[in-house]
Homo-oligomer: A and B are copies of this chain.
Amino acid sequence: MIINGMHDIKHFAGISSGGFMRNITRDSNSYYIDGKPGFLISGEFQYFRIPKDDWDKRLDLLIQAGGNCVATYIPWVLHEPVEGVFKSGDQPYRDLEGFLNLCKSKNLPVIARPGPYQYSEMKYNGLPEWLVKEYPEILALDIDGNTMSIGSISYLHPVFLEKTKKWFDYICPIIARYTEKNGGPVTSVQIDNELAGIHEWNGGWDYSPIGMGIGSEDGRYAKFLKRKYSSISAVSKTYDTKYESFANIKPKRDCVPVMDKDYRDFYLSAIAEFCVLLAGWMRDHGIDCDLIHNAGNTSMNPYFLETVSALGDDFILGSDLYYNLNMDWEANNPSPKAVVRTLICHDELKLMGFPPTIYEMQAGSASEWPPILPEDLKCWYMANIAFGMKGVNYYVFTGGPNPERIGADGHIYDYGAGIAADGTVRPVYYAQKEFGTFLNDNSWLSRTEKVSDFYLGLDWEQARCKNDSWEFMQKGLMISSLCASMMPEFIDLGENPMFPLLRFTDKPLVVAASSSMSSGIQKRLIDYVVNGGKLLLVPEIPYLNENFEPCTILADFIGTKTTSFDTSDCEINVCDLVGLVNTGLWKNEALPDDAIPFAFDEISKTNLGWSKTYPNGGKIVWFGMKWRHDKLLYNEMIRRLFGLTGIKSPAVECDNPNIWTVLRSDGKRRMLFIMNLFSSPLEACIKVKEADGSYTDSGNHKLIAMEVKTVEL
């Protein structure tokens, strides 16, 4: 039974009348608004929570704040409240088409997010109650076979897929009628929501035997392993167990590391399979615009490599980004560590081929305390622009009551939004308006790139497994660099046809390596150096490949191996700097031929670093120390290390390590972002390097707490 209110049909009739609709397009770098470079500025506007009488007024407020797009979940739980009973338009809060038509009339493109999941502080994460209660077999299971949470299902469970397909069979045709090509406002449609989150946040990957196809010869787990290992003897050998068949292989705790890694890769390939299915259903129903997905946070971006590859063009991966969602989060404000995550986030999305888009950008919080304050938000937004954000959707732009008791978090879903549940305009709105005005006044910024001083090698495997080296890269390398005014830019160490490694020999490449590195990356790094690239390698020279098997391709090229050693009584000397504190040390077996040492332990006289030049100008600088940035001396140390790779001076010189700067340029115009991410006032003298190598003094800058200042040069 499908109930479609008369109201909607009238509105549906309305869209065929055509007329101008704002057009949002994009390339791999940025967005174009009606063909002109600009920022995507969207606000999450949930028609089912915002009182319908207020839609018009609040959409106008979004437009006045510089908005050029809206986004909304389309909750399965509301549109199929009883299994098989689909509803739309019968209640103001279910009037999806009325909303789409209103957006069209206001020339506002729409990002539609029909699930199946919404999360959004709804019961069962937005799934219908009948689904999770009547079909408990669809629930995800952890590695011990326990259910995680009643809102966590197994994506590929056949029953879940069957029910999801019916939901899509209902909702996708409605959305399809409103895509841009059909004269409607829908500019993109989101596939599910923050995939993997319902598992990772509730106990780990999903191990449901049915959903994940574990325990049968033709299950998808067996198929994945067959593709990788071909024979049961090969997988038995690698997993150090005797299996009789692929059907016998079951994921377990305390297994060899490669089995864990394989399961993670398998799980992420299952996510891709799920996305391909959903995308197929959307396309089948005529949804012809970009499909998108929002990684739950920066650390989840790397989970979608298989998905991105499987979905090809007409798909955008973006990310959700918050600095505080409740009192248990690290800081109440956008701290330097939070801002480092934004840098990683935008660079990762760019390397995947997308204009970096934050589909859920903090604009409030489900927690009303600690408060999300307007000055902090302005700082957060501007820091994101500095580090490369090209599109933003405020989550949420406005709030309202939860219809039909769908809320898991009280009756009013207000989220501290700029426009409150009752329509009150809050200070947060003016922060957004100021930000929107800035973006629209400086739309040229959307075509800029950050001016970087060096490349930082992104090994997606590290980003996925978040090992010690990944942590060192952030807490050591990146923070030391940012404090020393040396701006990193991530490049993909994988085989990326869009961004081949050899294109990036103009600046040094820094790689934070661990004991394992894929043979492909080892080879590419050799290739890089052989072709004149300058490589700073810290702290280990890998001796294992991606499957943790012996692999010394890079070590053999270099001519030495590294081993860790006790750090309890050392006096590290790096380029004549003494007084450094390490969090781990590696020594090499022997100094490679013609290598010039620059670092050693003064107690044991152990060599800790050397540089070696190769025939065509390529260079390897190896430094065997990990650190956490907690000494000002690291600023000088990192500068001297970079000096060895050939960087004489950075693009920006800032005399206060606590003030971070980003220079953005489109080749003609430049803008300098100056950031105080602390709660005390700070000041700095800042100079910017010109094409001829000279520096222009931009003056002394005084910043109040949590201020991002911009200077156009």
Question: Which of A18-26, A460-468, A674-682 interfaces with chain B?
Answer: A674-682
Please encode chain A, from 564 to 582, with 1 for each CB lying within 8 Å of some chain B CB and 0 for all others. 0000110100000011110
**Min distance, Cβ A147 to any Cβ of chain B, angstroms:** 13
Chain B residues in 8 Å Cβ range of A571:
405
Stretch at the interface among A3-11, A50-58, A625-633: A625-633
A321-357 interface mask toward B, CB cutoff 8 Å, 1 = contact, 0 = none? 0000011001111011100000000000000000000
Give the shortest distance, in Å, between A143 (CB) and chain B (any CB).
Answer: 21
Known: A331-B330, A371-B658, A631-B368. Is A679-B410 also a contact (CB below 8 A)?
A: no
A495 within 8 A of B: no
> What number of A residues sit within 8 Å (CB to CB) of B?
52
- Encode A555-593 as 1/0 by CB contact (under 8 A) with B: 000000000000011010000001111000000000000
A409 contact set on B, CB distance < 8 A = 581
Q: Is A412 an interface residue (CB 8 A)?
A: yes
Tell which of B123, B326, B337, B410 touches A327, judged by Cβ atoms closer than 8 Å: B337
The residues in A between 599 and 634 inclusive whose CB is less than 8 angstroms from any CB of B are 628-633
**Chain B positions within 8 Å of A631 at CB level:** 367-369, 410
Chain B residue with Cβ nearest A416: B632
Query: Which A residues, 83 to 97, have Cβ-Cβ distances below 8 Å to chain B?
Result: none
Instruction: Among B150, B568, B657, B681, point to the contact of A150 (Cβ < 8 A).
Output: B568
Q: Which residue of B lies closest to A569 (CB)?
A: B123
**Complex Cα distance A484/B636, Å?**
48
Residue numbers in B under 8 Å from A71 (CB-CB): none
Stretch of A179-187, A372-380, A685-693 lying at the B interface: A372-380
Cβ contact within 8 Å between A332 and B331: yes
**Is the CB of A403 closer than 8 A to any CB of chain B?**
no
For A704, the chain B residues whose CB sits under 8 A away are 704-705
Knowing A369-B629, A369-B632, A631-B368, the reply to whether A376 touches B680 (Cβ < 8 A) is yes
Asked if A479 is at the interface (CB within 8 A of a chain B CB), the reply is yes
Closest Cβ of chain B to A483, distance in Å, is: 6
CA distance A330 to B405 in the complex (A): 35
Contact with B along A647-678 (1 / 0, CB 8 A): 00000000001100000000000000000001
Is A532 in contact with chain B by the CB < 8 A criterion? no
Q: Given B332, B410, B479, which contacts A335 in the complex, CB threshold below 8 Å?
A: B332
List of B residues within 8 angstroms of A657 by Cβ: 369
* In the complex, A411 has a CB within 8 A of chain B: yes
Q: Provide the bound-state CA to CA distance between A658 and B369, in Å.
A: 8
Known contacts being A123-B569, A332-B679, is A410 close to B367, with CB within 8 Å? no
| CB of A507 closer than 8 Å to a CB of B | no
Question: CA A410 – CA B637 in complex, angstroms?
Answer: 14
In the complex, A475 has a CB within 8 A of chain B: yes
The answer to whether A370 has its CB under 8 Å from any CB of chain B is: yes
Is A316 part of the contact surface with B, judged by Cβ < 8 Å? no
Interface presence of A544 (CB below 8 A): no
The docked-state distance in angstroms from the alpha carbon of A123 to that of B333 is 35
CA distance A569 to B569 in the complex (A): 58
List A678-713 residues whose CB lies under 8 Å from chain B: 678-682, 704-706
B373 near A410 with CB under 8 A, answer no
Distance (whole angstroms) from the CB of A126 to the closest CB of chain B: 15
**Is A366 close to B, CB under 8 A?**
yes
Let me know if A333 and B679 touch, CB within 8 A. yes
CB distance from A569 to the nearest CB of B (A): 7
Nearest CB on B from A122, distance (A)? 13
State how many angstroms separate the Cβ of A312 from the closest Cβ of chain B: 40
* A569 to B151 CA separation, bound complex (whole angstroms): 13
- Measured between beta carbons, the chain B residues less than 8 angstroms from A411 are 578-579
CA distance A578 to B409 in the complex (A): 11
* Closest B residue, CB atoms, query A409: B581
Closest residue of chain B to A474 (Cβ to Cβ) is: B327
A123, A369, A409, most chain B CB atoms within 10 A: A369
In the complex, what residue of chain B is closest to A475 when comparing beta carbons?
Answer: B327
User: Which residues in B have their C-beta under 8 angstroms from that of A580?
Assistant: 410
Instruction: Report yes or no: B630 in contact with A678, Cβ–Cβ below 8 A.
Output: no
Contact A680 B375 (CB under 8 A): yes
Report yes or no: B123 in contact with A369, Cβ–Cβ below 8 A.
no
Is the beta-carbon distance between A678 and B371 smaller than 8 angstroms?
yes
Shortest CB distance A115–B (Å): 21
Residues of B within 8 A of A628 (CB): 326-327
> Which of these, B123, B370, B376, B568, contacts A336 with CB under 8 Å?
B370
In the bound complex, residues from chain B placing their C-beta under 8 Å from that of A475 are: 327
Q: Which residue of B lies closest to A334 (CB)?
A: B679
Q: Are A681 and B375 within 8 A (Cβ)?
A: yes
In the complex, chain A residues 408-423 whose Cβ is within 8 Å of any chain B Cβ: 409-412
Most chain B CB inside 10 Å of its own CB: which residue of A150, A680, A706: A680
- Cβ–Cβ contact B375 & A327, under 8 A: no
Could you write out 25 A-B pairs with CB less than 8 Å apart?
Answer: A123-B568, A150-B568, A326-B630, A327-B337, A327-B628, A327-B630, A331-B332, A332-B335, A332-B678, A333-B678, A333-B679, A333-B680, A335-B370, A366-B630, A368-B631, A370-B658, A373-B682, A375-B679, A375-B680, A376-B679, A409-B581, A410-B580, A410-B633, A411-B578, A679-B705
- Which 7 pairs from chain A and chain B are nearest by CB? A373-B680, A367-B630, A705-B705, A375-B680, A679-B679, A410-B579, A411-B579
Interface residues of A (CB under 8 A from B): 123, 150, 326-327, 330-333, 335-337, 366-371, 373-376, 405, 409-412, 475, 479, 483, 568-569, 571, 578-581, 628-633, 657-658, 678-682, 704-706
